[in-house]
Amino acid sequence: MNSIPNDDLSAAAEALGPDITALRRAIHSDPELGLETPRTMAKVREALANLPLEWREGTKTTGQVAILKGGKGAGRRVLLRGDMDALPMGEETGLDFASTIPGRMHACGHDSHTAMLAGAVRLLADRAGDIAGEVMFMFQPGEEGFGGARMMIEDGLLDPAPEAAFAYHIIPNAPHGLFVCREGALMAASDAIEIVVTGRGGHASMPHSAADPLPVACEIVTALQAMVTRRFDAADPVVVTVTQFRASNADNVIAERCVLRGTIRTLSDATRERVHAACRDLVTGIASAHGMKAEFIVQQGFPVTANDPRAVQLAREVATDRFGSASWYDLPDPLMTAEDFSYVLQKVPGAMLLLGVAAPDADWAKAPGLHSPHMHIDEAVLPRGSAMLAALALRVLETGLPTT
């Protein structure tokens, strides 16, 4: 059992609540994109100034890892992660602390992840004298498609590897303060695809004199959907979604090329390879049947976010011990979203937890979801999130991951 009483850690987190909220709002109003988040990192460093932390920096991102060494000497090592980047989209929440930068918004909750992690740093720093081992705090940019976690790993910032790693993702349309998780695959692998169908351009009034790639591209879109439902087991989900369709820029021109873009989501490496091969065969085959050529291009993205069963068991025990059995929900099925914490979980056993941040009296099922310009959270959840992160770290340092 954790040596820190439940009420002590939770009360300390609640006392830090105004500071956690203030940091979240400062980050929210000043969003940064991609791998370069220096202003966000500066806000974190200022919030954690004068704490006994060792800071590490890499060369590929502006992310940093803070290390807290326990006063009781050598022991286990655990990692907690928070991501810092925003999305390239406008905000329509009307909040007093809404984004001050047009076309940028923390619509995925990374501002809250970072603020809760900073709160956990302070909670654990206050207890450093009672800790044996080390806690690594990973402040990571570039989660939104850039692979910042992979780059920080390549920079050696997670070496030597910790024994366990944990991270959050908030869910605005889930009950207030609920921790959600599952063993094994939590989120999918994500790949970007581009399909280029090449025909022969011409005048729209004389399609017989051209080789119009547009109807061929339309046939490909329809065939992709049928392929998924007819060639892949529904028990091992596959998603193929075409999101962009571009051809001519004029109403009287048959384009030479039609370009499609989209995404593939899968939950296993074997299925991922099969889907790529099947899509390529389908795309080139349909184009060839119409006397045209087509390319199928895959840009591999994040791998499957796979939670270690031992880490999930530990998190479940910590959550129910500290916040009651109603605070935990075992997710029955994986989500087809993707996360670059998956790179950390390839290197270190651990788990990503989802945290419900809807207001207690809200109809959470109808709340604006992630990536919505109206997405907002109930900030009263933030201290609970910090307390849970701190408790997870303490449990790992004291007992390690369960053996069964």
- pTM exceeds 0.85 for this model: yes
Q: What pLDDT score does 223 carry?
A: 97
Q: CA-CA distance, 153 to 149, in Å (whole number)?
A: 6
Could you tell me the residue range of the domain that residue 282 belongs to? 189-300
Q: Is the peptide bond preceding residue 160 cis, with omega within 30 degrees of 0? A: yes
Q: Residues of the chain with pLDDT > 90: what percent?
A: 95
Domain end: 257, 279, 300, which one?
300
β-sheet bridge partners, residue 134: 69, 77
Domain end position, chosen among 300, 319, 352 = 300
pLDDT in tens, 157-211: 999 999 999 999 999 999 999 999 999 999 999 999 999 999 999 999 999 999 9
| Same domain? 42 vs 164 | yes
Measured CA angle at 32 (ends 29, 37), to 5 deg: 120
C-beta separation of 265 from 336 below 8 A: yes
Residue at 352 is within a domain: yes
User: What does pLDDT average to over the chain?
Assistant: 95
Does one domain contain both 293 and 320?
A: no
- Say if strands 77-83 and 53-57 run parallel, antiparallel, or are unpaired: unpaired
Q: Percent of the chain scored above 70 by pLDDT? A: 98
- State the pLDDT confidence band at 234, using cuts at 50, 70 and 90: confident
Q: Give the mean model confidence (pLDDT) for residues 105-123.
A: 98
Question: Do 38 and 167 lie in a common domain?
Answer: yes
Q: How many domains does the chain have?
A: 2
* One domain, residues 325 and 274: no
- Residue 2 has a pLDDT of 43
What would the pLDDT profile of 30-75 be if each residue is shown by its tens digit? 999 999 999 999 999 999 999 999 999 999 999 999 999 999 989 9
CATH number of 286's domain = 3.30.70.360
Enter the tokens of residue 257. 């090329």
Calpha distance 43→239 (Å, rounded): 38
232 and 327 part of one domain: no
Is there a domain that residue 1 lies in? Answer: no
Q: Quick one: 116 and 220 in the same domain?
A: no
